[in-house]
Amino acid sequence: MKNSDTAQLEFKKTSFRLSLYIHIPFCRRKCYYCDFYSISGFQESTEKKVVQEILKQADYYLKTMDKASIASIFVGGGTPSLLKDEHLSLLLGGINRLLCTRNRDKSAIEWTIEANPESLDKKFLQICAANNVNRLSIGMQSFDDDLLNKLGRLGSSKDNLRALDLVEKYWSGRVSIDLLAGIPGQKAEYLVEELNRLCSLSFIKHISLYTLTPLKGTLLDKQVNGEDQEEVWLQGSAALRSRGFNNYEIANFSLPGEESLHNLRYWHLEPYLGLGPAAVSTLPGERGDALRLSNPEDVNQFLDGNEDLWGTTVERVPIRDFLFETLMMGLRLKRGIPTALFSERFNQSPEILLGGLWQEWRRRKLARSSHNYLALSSRGRLHLDSLLVELSEYLDTRGHIIDTALAGVLPFI
Ligand code: SF4
């Protein structure tokens, strides 16, 4: 589907649950390893215009999907805590007004916002709480200033401690902390100490421990060693598990009941609407097919594009690609993909579509046997990247058979 066809975009007419992702494309400075779209050195007026366009975009799409009820909201970026107070209030207040007609009990929606320690203050927390935001995700990455400098982070360990202090005093919602494993020079013992200190704070019930993935060809890229990274991550994850944190997704750990509902929906490839520059959506088309919408990775194009649906490109996701994406995302989860969801989505049982490959993975102890879930073993999850290559080859070599089995299947019907 071409851009010019977006005027005829139609979405599912019956009721469905929808998540919102709002991308705030601003950072004070670019970290050395980051490939998320964001700009720095922007004008205050640009910030306001982007917020206004995001609200217009939300209004437009929610009107065209008038049967959708909102399941979760995630404001990410970029750095949402960098927004001026008035722009943050404008954004959150505007989304609340749009939701008034859809969800009667807004407090039931999980609403997350990302923050960086150096730009998190009391006012930010108050504006978020007053506007029904109930989950905070703070990108701390490390408590070692040398490592933070290596990453090009603006915040320091002192900023991290100050942010934790503010959150403890002024925030009653949920809190998640992001840390990185495998930074060149990082000692596993030090990471374990950091994690133990975080786990001893009763308000922290969710921690994401990502392995640093540097941009190709950068100094950081030349300094990392995959085996060292794996060892540091493994020791960090063992420390989290020993404190009762469940490794429910490859890089995510939580106490029971504290999982990120928004991200669970995302890993299950449930419908989500992405708003703002560079945001991507997966939405049910009118017939129940999967549509992928991508906003331009360019603030100016996004701002200039409102006559042409903000410059958004639209494609129908071929059903075989959607099958691959469902597995790629869902197999990240320890629990895996419910077979009921899989069969409902693809009108076929997993055995029919994946039988040979799944047996082979089970033989190699990479997949688990379960009637209710399609899940990898912990060893399988550690090698997810290479398993996805095998999966892609399997689907390609059996392409004709799979396409025949999936002919006419509409995943969101
Ligand atoms: S603050 Fe976050 S989004 Fe911004 S450049 Fe750094 S890692 Fe990327």
Residue 163's domain spans which residues? 3-265
Q: Is 27 a pocket residue for ligand 1 (Cβ < 6 Å)?
A: yes
Residue 2: pLDDT over 60: no
Gap between the Cα atoms of 52 and 90, Å rounded: 8
Domain check: are 141 and 228 in the same one?
Answer: yes
Q: Is 31 a pocket residue for ligand 1 (Cβ < 6 Å)?
A: yes
Number of structural domains the chain divides into: 2
Residue at 295 is within a domain: no
Residue 341: pLDDT over 70: yes
Domain check: are 80 and 168 in the same one?
Answer: yes
Gap between the Cα atoms of 186 and 144, Å rounded: 9
Domain check: are 59 and 208 in the same one?
Answer: yes
Domain check: are 27 and 169 in the same one?
Answer: yes
Domain check: are 339 and 219 in the same one?
Answer: no
Distance 89 CA to ligand 1 centre (A): 22
Nearest residue by C-alpha to atom 7 in ligand 1:
34
Distance 31 CA to ligand 1 centre (A): 6
Average pLDDT over residues 165-193: 98
Residue 307: pLDDT over 80: no
- Token pair in block for residue 116: 């960086």
Q: What angle do CA 276, 281, 287 make, to 5 degrees?
A: 140
Q: Distance of CA 258 to CAs 76, 203, 261, 328, Å? A: 19, 11, 8, 23
Mutate to test the pocket of ligand 1, among 26, 34, 147 (most ligand atoms within 8 A of CB): 34
The residue out of 206, 230, 265 marking a domain boundary is: 265
pLDDT grade, residue 305 (50/70/90)?
Answer: confident
pLDDT at 4: 45
Residue 99: pLDDT over 50: yes
Residue at 411 is within a domain: no
Task: Please tell me the pTM assigned to this model.
Answer: 0.96
Distance 36 CA to ligand 1 centre (A): 7
Gap between the Cα atoms of 311 and 299, Å rounded: 11
Average pLDDT over residues 21-34: 97
Gap between the Cα atoms of 228 and 155, Å rounded: 25
Q: What is the DSSP letter of 398?
A: T
pLDDT grade, residue 373 (50/70/90)?
Answer: very high
For 378-389, the pLDDT digits (tens) are 999 999 999 999
Determine contact, residues 252/236, Cβ cutoff 8 Å. Answer: no
Residue at 308 is within a domain: no
pLDDT grade, residue 296 (50/70/90)?
Answer: very high
pLDDT at 106: 67
Handedness of CA 145, 188, 380, 221 (dihedral sign): positive
Q: Is 80 a pocket residue for ligand 1 (Cβ < 6 Å)?
A: no
For 117-142, the pLDDT digits (tens) are 999 999 999 999 999 999 999 999 99
For 45-90, the pLDDT digits (tens) are 999 999 999 999 999 999 999 899 999 999 999 999 999 999 999 9
